[in-house]
Every structure is written in structure tokens, then in C-alpha cells.
Structure 1
Amino acid sequence: MEHTAVFRILANANLVKQYLKLFQQNGVDDETITELNENHLEEMGIFNKAHRDLILQCRDNLSNEEFPINTQLEEEKKETHGPQNPITIAMLLKSSNVSTRSKALSNDNFLRKLIMAELSDKNIDSIQCLDNCPRLQVLYLNSNKINAIENIEMLSSLRILSLENNLISRLSGLSNLSHLEKLHLDRNCIQKIEGLENLNELTELHCNRQNIRVPLEFDENSIVGISPNLRILSLCGNKIEDISLLWYLDKAEEIDLSENQIQMGEDFIKALSCMNYLKILNLSGNPIVRRPKYRDEVILSNYSIQELDGKTILGNEREYLLRLHGKGRAPVKKETKKGIDLAVVGNRFNKNK
């Protein structure tokens, strides 16, 4: 290491102990150091202007021979591996308004205390360096070029993860995120909802408009795993045909399955009848909505739905359909008072003996 140009520059500036590790973490080598300017150094976490100026001066004092740049090799790397833009320490420091941090707080300590990181629109193609942020709770990585969910297993405190508009084709690497509450995966290339069996605290799953040619599928273990607390499920525009496994989601309150290929059938009725807490359901843009009396069938299959395809279900609408089909009034949950069960029917109370 002592023979590298980076080390010699920092040695000449008498700043090896302060910044050598920082340069290594950010992937600065003898080639990339020639491209650094004052703004780059500040983004890396070198906030002392005198230090920045000294590093650049020592860099410029070295002759061009100290920085052998093999242009042909660089072109071969680009052709073979493509551009590499992982998450860096500098990105993490900049993601949370580092200008307000205490100057006495080191970069390492600052990252250890980091709770939220906004890394959207950074042209990132791989997830790295997050092991420096063990307390991270909110992570936004939208609109990048990430093709795999990796290197986040150590983020056991993560509660919100957003990876919208990337190139992810498979759900993996999430098994250790047992406290995750919200997962946003819109506009990727995911073909199957899987790898979620340990996310039993998940309350929201958004996986809309995947860039796929086949219907989105469901892994049963994953659906069972997220069922205890899932309240919002959004899967519009995914060519979905089979929703039989969704009957496990009996605690769901809002489901968007619009713009898929769902049709009326026994599996659909079974799934719908099990969702006793469902309030909002969107099936617009599916073949099922073209079925005569579709709305009536849905209302009669689930007594808790309050809004269907953006239109409110009025109480008298449901009561009319129930009477029309000879099903009486919609059942109301029982309440217990002084040891006596009371079944509520309309405005009358009847004792159950």
C-alpha cells in the first residue's frame, strides 16, 4: 500500500491516518484519484477545506508518471463488466444532509446512527456498504439500475424498503428483515412473490406493473408468512390470473388487483369470502368486471367491503341485494354485555340462549 500514489499523496499531506481508510472505502485508487476535485472530496466526508486543498496540491505536485492510466484496460473493463456504480460511503453521508451533523462526529459514528437514507436516482447498480449503517430503518433506492436485492441482511431494524423502478427479477435477501413493515417494488421485473416467509410484520406490499411477459405468481409460504399483519396489497398490472392463495390474507383491508386477467370462479369467491376485514377492493380492468351482475356478486360474497372499483357501496345497496337473494340482513359482529351474548339485527337486540 505504501507504494501506491494514493498513499504517497496522503503521506505528503501528513493525512494518512485521517483519510486512508476513507479513500479505500470509496474505491479511490491511483487511476480515479486523478479525477477528484474539491467537491468529490467533500462528498466523501472530508469537510476540512484546508485538508482538501492540501490533498489536491500534493496530488498535483506528483508527475503524470505517478498515475499510469491504461485507457485500453479501462475500455476492456467497460465492455466485459459494464459500468459499476455501487452504493458508496460518500453517497450515504450525503443522503442525510451531512451539513447539519456535528463536526465532532466521525464518519463511522455518523453512519452507525443513520436511520434514513435517500438514494434514489443515483444510477446505482449494486447494493453495498450498508453494513456501516446497522440502525437504518428507512431506505429509498428508487429509479436506479439494481438487478438484485443483496447485502442488506444485516439491516435487522429496517422498517421501510423502497426499490421501485429498478431491474430486479427475483425476490431474495429479505429473510432477515423480520421488522420490515412496508415494501415497495413497483416497476421491476419480478415474476413471483416469494422469499417473504419471515416478514410477518409486513403491513404493506406494493408490487405493481412488473415488466414481465407471464402472469405474476405467488409462493404459498410467502403469502402465509405475510398474512398476520398485511393490511394493504397492491398488485395492479401484472397479468394475474390465479388468486387462490390470497384467501390466506384474511386481515387485509385494502387490495388493488386492477388491470390483471382475473375472472369469476370458485377460487375467487373463496378468497373474497375469507377477507373479513376488507374495506377497499379494486378489480377494474379485469375480465371479471364484464360479467353481468359482477358488482352484485362481489357485494354478496363479502359483507365488509365498503368500496369496489372506486365506488362506495351504500348500506341500502347491500341490504337490497341480500333481501333480493333471500339472504336476510348482513350479519353484525356479536358483542358481549354482562355475560349475555347479544346478536344485533337491524335496530333490535335478541338474546341468544
Structure 2
Amino acid sequence: MTHLQIQASRPYTVYIEPGAVNRLTEVPAAHEADQFWIITDQRVAELHGTTLHEQLEQCFPEKTRLLSRVEPGETSKSLSVYQTLLEDGVKQGATRRTLILAVGGGMIGDLAGFVAATFLRGVPFVQIPTTLLAHDSSVGGKVGLNLRWGKNLVGAFYQPSAVLYDVTFLHTLSDREWRSGFFELLKHGFLARPSFAPALLGLDLEAVKQLPMEEWLASGIAVKQRIVEQDERESGIRAFLNYGHTFGHAVEYASPGLSHGEAIGIGLVFASLLEDNERQAEQLVGLMRRLGMVLPKRHPFEVYLDFMKRDKKNNASIRFVLQRQGSFTLEEIEETRLRDTYDQTVRCLQWD
């Protein structure tokens, strides 16, 4: 049982334990709600819907439950699906006192959180993550949607009322979902002081699945907690949480079917080479192979450059989070250097 208190503009608790959904009884917004509006995807509904409804019935038998389901996958984090959810909420009778329960991975958390931030000018919501990857996205209050030009180009800062992280939900994850979440955990390992990344770099997929996950999730979330509490709206050091993401997001957007975390793995290799840290890049490549990752189709450098230019963190220049002598900085990188690093990345990954 692990509880973390996030001291954001709206403080809340992250509960990490088996059966964490039962902690909803400790969330004031749940008692104040007239009803619950569950937003999830069809896959999660099939896997965990029955358990979730039983838990809610036990905790709040008097509360009505609304339900909206979307297609699994990043394509649902779109303006069209967002509009459908808003209209579905109106049709089902959601009010300003309705509590949204975002049940699923990072896509659902971002999508349902943005619905919560904007529906009737804002209603409370609770994050109920069901994936390893969502340990990153469920904490910190970033919610939003993608556009065809890039990830998370529409969004808001909107803190949840609580995060209920039932680690038993992880037992149903596919190998790809384990890989995807693990690369985000590894990113937090690099950012931690002292770093816990070295303890993860030598693992294979089966070893990852055997980790005492409650402990490791808490370690990853604690890194994000420390940064978000200092810089909730990303005016400074919160940008460091994008380590590996600038090139990683470009790869993700150019590679339909590639998971977010897998793309971040490639992005971490790219960032390591920008740092002239070839040893770390080689360790990451070895890790990717042990985890069973299959590289996506490679595109010309110009394709990734175009996506990097549209990244919401960049202005006229392209900026990367890089590690220098034990600390992190945000640096502007010239196009010629990016091209050279791309060529290095292709060779390091043996990316045909």
C-alpha cells in the first residue's frame, strides 16, 4: 500500500495498491457527486468492466453510473471522439456535479481528462489507470487531444481529484504494453536523483513483469511529483519530463501502430547520442532487443524533422532535453546536428 500526496494547485492523493478503486470512498468529490460517468475504451471495458462496477456498487450503491466507451488506441484522442463524448454526456444526463472516472491507459486519461476540463466549463474527474504507461500520464494534470500535425496540440492543465492505481489491472497487459510503460519508467529513472535507471537497463521482458510493481510505480511517480510540484504549468523544469520525447513523438506520429513508449525508447537513443553518450545509447539498444521490440518502418530524416518542428514545446527552434554532467538542460539544436544524430541513431539501432 503506497499513498503519495501531490501538492498541486488542487492537491490530491495517488493510491497505489491492489483494489485501489475502493479508495474512492476517501475522495471528497465522489461523495459530493450526483453520479459517476465512466469513460473507458472497449478493450478495458471487456477486461475490467465487471470488476469496476462491482467495486463501485460496493462503495457507492446509491450512485447512478453513466458509461461511454471509445475505440482503443491513440486515434481516439481526437476532436471528433471528444465531441462525441461531450454529446454523449449531455444525452445521458451528466451535470456539473457528475464525477468522471477515466478508466484505462494514457489515451483515456488524456481524453477523459480533457472532457472533464471542458464539459459544462469543468467537472471533477478521477484517474483509474490500467496500464504501466499511465503511471506517467495519470499524474500531473496534463490532459488533451492530438491533431493530425502532432501529439497533444490541444489541451489543458487540469488536476484530477485522485489517482486510484490498482496494480492487479496490470496482469492483463500485452507484451507491447509492458514495453511501452517500461520505457516511461526508465525515463523517470534517468531523471531521478540518485538515478535508478542503471537498475533497469539490464532487464529482459520477463524480469520486467516480475518487478515489485507497486514499489517501482511509486518511484516513477515520485520523480514526476517532485517536478510537477515545482512547476505545475511547464514554465521551467517540468519540460525535463520530455526527456526522449522530442524525437520520440516524431517517430510515434510517423509510425502508426507503434506504441508511445516504444517510440520514446527510440527517442532516448537519439537523445543519448545528442549528449555524446554512446555507451548509454548502446545499452538502450540492447534493452530494446531483450524486450522484443520490433523497429517501425524508417522514414527519411525530413519526415521526422517536420514533426519535431510542430512539437508544442518548440518555438522557432527545435529544443531537446539533454543530460549534462548529472543535470538536465533544455537546449536548442541546429538542423545539421539533428541530421548527423539521426544518421548515428540509424547506425546504432541498425535501423534498415
TM-score range, shorter chain: under 0.3
TM-score (norm 1): 0.24
TM-score (norm 2): 0.24
Q: State the structure with bigger RCO (CA 8 A, min sep 6), 1 or 2.
A: 2
Question: Going by fraction, where is helix more abundant, 1 or 2?
Answer: 2
